[in-house]
Chain A
Amino acid sequence: MTQFIDIAALDDIPRQGARVVKTPAGCIAIFRTGDDQIFALDDRCPHKGGPLSEGIVHGAQVTCPLHAWVFDLNTGLAQGADEGEVRTYAVRLEAGRVLLDAGFLARRSAA
């Protein structure tokens, strides 16, 4: 089930930066690229749990602040020699507002 909910204004998120959304299943990082694309990924690096929201955003990638693994924001896949994957979530930009698919919450409470 897709259920988009309004979580923030685009301008609450710095360009080439991120902010986090707290959820019962842990934090989700909402990234904004240099050209205003929005992505949502779990804020936990599969390596040793680094907060990806604090990494440097370059193009549509983020470099983990702890040990510099690089992830593609589109797919959540680790780049280069590293192997790992971060869960991604659907996000939408509408009239300057960021909408996050919170369907996962419903699934969770249904479970």
Chain B
Amino acid sequence: MKQKLVVIGAGMASGRMLEHLFEAGGNFDVTLFNAEPRGNYNRLMLSPVLSGEKTYEQIVTHDADWYEAHSVDCRFGEPVVKIDRENRIVYSNAGGAPYDALVIATGSAPFIIPVPGKDLPGVCTYRDLEDTNAMIAASAPGTKAVVIGGGLLGLEAAAGMAARGAEVTVIHLMGHLMERQLDPAAGYLLQKDLEQRGIKVHCKGATKAILGEGRVEAVLLEDGTVYPADLVCMAVGIRPEVRLATDAHLEVGRGITVDDQMRTSDPSIFALGECVEHNGQLFGLVAPLYDQAKVLAATLLEQEAAFQPVQTATKLKVTGVDLFSAGDFADALGREDIVFRDPGRGIYKRLVLEGNQLMGAVMYGDTADGSWFFDLIKQRKDVSDLRDTLIFGPAFSGGASANPLAAVAALPPEAEICGCNGVCKGKIVTAIEAGATTLDAVRSTTKASASCGTCTGLVEQVMALTLGDGFSANANPPMCKCTDHTHEDVRRLIKSLGLKSIPAVMQELGWRTVGGCASCRPALNYYLIADWPTEYRDDRQSRFVNERNHGNIQKDGTYSVVPRMWGGVTTPAELRAIADAADRYAVPMVKVTGGQRIDLLGVKKEDLPAIWADLNAAGMVSGHAYAKGLRTVKTCVGSEFCRFGTQDSTGLGIKLEKLLWGSWTPAKVKLGVSGCPRNCAEATCKDIGVVCVDSGYEISVAGAAGMDVRETEFLCKVTTEAEVMEVIAAFTQLYRENARYLHRIYKWVAKVSLDWCRAQVEDPVTRRALYDRFMLSQSVYQTDPWAELAAKPADWAPVADLTLRAAE
């Protein structure tokens, strides 16, 4: 008698399994249930259907003739609702079917994030033909679609709808797209490609709610952003469809547990596909499912076979997007990276080696060698002989190497090289070609690098590119060992290329390391904060400890806490609160600082949030005593009390501090305001000093009283407090925008010249524009970090305490 085989689910895995079974001449009476009202089709190809490159008919894998030829009893559109293991019958709502052997191949179900509005009409997932058709129907030109989830599925959905003319926004929870398959550099290139097709990408975006009355209208994020939407596609992940198996009391972990023969805990029930769990592993790509299909067919035919998961490789099926990821590219014991970037062609390749073996590969922009690398990974080949040229692939014939000039070579002619005089690359090239073959000649013909000189390095690189070997640049030391570019080049290129994230800078400027080092990361983080205050988001992990923890670390690992004391003025209530805090947290030393405030030294890290909260409660905020940013404004008593005072220096100092606090700068900034030339506030050895005189205010800059001691130099004289504020904010902004990281004002002024600085702040239009940019940045960054961080005290304590455990 023929065996009765019942299969639940007509998907990719069961379709393949049935093929193997019939090809081997298996003698079964097959009943095939499917929840979808159709038979097996190639689910992977839904994306080309969505984008319009294929029709549904073209992706059907098994048609009516095939089922008939193999006498398959098709029960399509009939979801199975129950398995009766005792009597070996499965039930749909239309009736039962008895089995000798049962195969569960129910795949997986899309995960729905439990936010308000998730059930509104117009919200879909991306799993089957119905979803695909819903998206096709909704993506006429001019409609707006939001895709939640920037993984493989979400991006294919987004690209498909965009190809049909919809305006698509992708919201992704993590820092970069497809973070499970790509590293940040490749994720950045992918985002850039998608943005070029008009898809908007919002990373680090958490969905708070889907809004709409009776139908979706918009998506609201936790950060308050609202994206209007006619359709919302949720593609945030899948989970194995195990409900039937759970109800039938089969052994189920995250998926239905199967052994190497694809057998469940019931010997006559088998399972395969995305619904199973094998040795703790789940599956989400078809390659391993096809192997399962082979094994299960053999098992049913009573042949020997055992399933062994293979490595998988990922490609994104979006026409024109070229990415590849395979193997394991995580940092681990003894692993090494080989990185190749070609900014001009948008190429990034990274290989991860362990000993003599290739473990993983991530590639973007040029994936021609993907399968060759994948083979090396799978076969665990010894690559030691190939090592030096491995990254160039099997066709390597010598010669190619990373070119330090690549980033500049890739700049379009209209890219601005000299910011002061607005000179673009094309103009410099033209001048060089017309005979300006020395830096001075370029300077005098184009004015490029003729003002502050910061862009000299870049101008020289343009010359080297145009003149070839005939020119040797006056090499300045590079920023760090990760790059050939100087700080000045990097700053300039961040602006002219519009680079707005650390991975973007590292890719476009050809960084040699995967994630930078402790020297370049804080610098890049600062440059991006200063240049794109509203678009870039501060990366806390790229900051030095003091700024990350908002206190100065001491040699014993404790911190100092310094509340702001505006202009050095305090009140009895503040002093009491400080004294109380010092008592409560047993602060070992309370010290008056040179900047006219009080330092609480020796506070334990885990006490920081509490002491901050106490000081906040008394109305005090962080003094940023640890920051590359505004520190203090030291004042004298001035005309309010002093018989020599000419102006209200204390009041002005307070106003200046309230204007400038919270701003991040390349290095620390200290101010002083003295009420008369007797200069009791020592204003003339500060970064910026104001000395009041009868007729107004003398502003001088570039003093120092540290390793170097220098008197300030006169910048300008103004007559009102309002002008003092505008000049100083503008000058600070000039410094923020142009200096290299860690250079104090005096070092920067020595490079760009005081005359140039003065010309900028004396020109009313330039000054106003600088001031406005400063205020824009302040609108984002002038916040009290203590208040924000004190709210999460748990983050400051140890994650675990094993001291008690040991005592047991």
Contacts and interface: CB of A to CB of B under 8 A. Distances in A.
A34 B329 CA distance: 11
Contacts of B518: 55-56, 58, 63, 68, 70
Given A37-B330, A54-B549, A65-B553, A59 B800 contact: no
B805 interface: yes
B806 interface: yes
Nearest to A35: B330
Given A14-B540, A59-B513, A60-B332, A35 B802 contact: no
Contacts of B183: 34-35
A69 B553 CA distance: 16
B798 interface: yes
B81 interface: no
A92 interface: no
B665 interface: no
A46 interface: no
Interface string A45-64: 00011110011111111010
Contacts of B541: 14-17, 56-57
A60 B336 CA distance: 10
Interface in A1-21: 5, 7-8, 12-17, 19-21
A109 to B, nearest CB: 6
A51 B796 CA distance: 14
Interface string B334-354: 110100000000000000000
Given A34-B184, A34-B515, A105-B805, A50 B557 contact: yes
A102 to B, nearest CB: 6
A102 B808 CA distance: 14
Contacts of B805: 5, 102, 105
Given A13-B799, A58-B521, A35 B549 contact: no
Given A34-B184, A56-B521, A57-B541, A12 B799 contact: yes
Contacts of B521: 56, 58
A93 B801 CA distance: 19
A108 B515 contact: no
A7 B800 contact: yes
B799 A8 contact: yes
B544 interface: yes
Contact of A36 (B330, B543, B800): B330
Given A49-B557, A51-B557, A109-B806, A22 B517 contact: no
B759 interface: no
A63 B515 CA distance: 13
B555 interface: yes
B602 interface: no
Contacts of A57: 541
Interface residues of B, number: 40
Given A34-B184, A59-B337, A22 B800 contact: yes
Contacts, number: 115
Interface in B501-556: 513-518, 521-522, 540-545, 548-549, 553, 555-556
Nearest to B183: A35
B115 interface: no
A40 to B, nearest CB: 11
Contact of A65 (B334, B514, B544, B799): B544
Contacts of B540: 14, 17
B281 interface: no
B548 A54 contact: yes
A109 B553 CA distance: 33
A27 B657 CA distance: 39
A35 B350 CA distance: 14
A108 B507 CA distance: 48
Interface in B758-808: 798-803, 805-807
Given A23-B806, A58-B517, A66 B555 contact: yes
A74 B334 contact: yes
B750 interface: no
A21 B545 contact: no
B519 to A, nearest CB: 8
B333 interface: yes
Contacts of B548: 54
A41 interface: no
B557 A20 contact: no
Interface in A24-39: 24, 27, 30, 33-37
A20 B796 CA distance: 9
Contacts of B515: 16, 34, 58-59
Contacts of A5: 802, 805
A20 B518 CA distance: 20
B331 interface: yes
Contacts of B522: 56
Contacts of B175: 15
B146 to A, nearest CB: 25
A24 B806 contact: yes
A37 B331 contact: yes
A39 to B, nearest CB: 9
Given A54-B553, A60-B335, A22 B803 contact: yes
A3 to B, nearest CB: 11
B331 A35 contact: yes
B330 A21 contact: no
Contacts of A30: 799
B754 to A, nearest CB: 33
A63 B542 CA distance: 11
A75 B336 CA distance: 13
A6 to B, nearest CB: 9
A34 B515 CA distance: 8
Contacts of A55: 518, 545
B182 to A, nearest CB: 10
Contacts of B545: 54-55, 65
A50 B521 CA distance: 20
Contacts of A102: 802, 805
- Most chain A CB within 10 A, of B183, B513, B545, is at B545
A65 B583 CA distance: 28
A22 B337 CA distance: 33
A68 B545 CA distance: 11
Nearest to A88: B333
Nearest to A56: B518
Contacts of A73: 331
B89 to A, nearest CB: 36
- B518, B543, B548, B801, most chain A CB atoms within 10 A: B518
A66 to B, nearest CB: 7
Contacts of B335: 60, 74
B806 A19 contact: no
Interface in B299-329: 329
Interface in B540-580: 540-545, 548-549, 553, 555-557
Interface of A: 5, 7-8, 12-17, 19-24, 27, 30, 33-37, 48-51, 54-61, 63, 65-66, 68, 70, 73-75, 100, 102, 105, 108-109
29 contacts: A5-B802, A7-B800, A7-B802, A12-B799, A16-B542, A17-B541, A19-B799, A21-B798, A21-B800, A21-B802, A22-B798, A22-B802, A24-B802, A24-B803, A27-B798, A33-B331, A34-B515, A35-B329, A49-B556, A50-B557, A54-B548, A56-B541, A59-B331, A59-B513, A60-B331, A60-B332, A60-B335, A74-B333, A74-B335
Given A21-B798, A102-B802, 7 more contacts: A16-B515, A22-B802, A23-B802, A35-B330, A49-B555, A56-B518, A58-B518
Give the 3 A-B CB pairs with smallest separation, nearest first. Answer: A63-B518, A60-B331, A16-B541
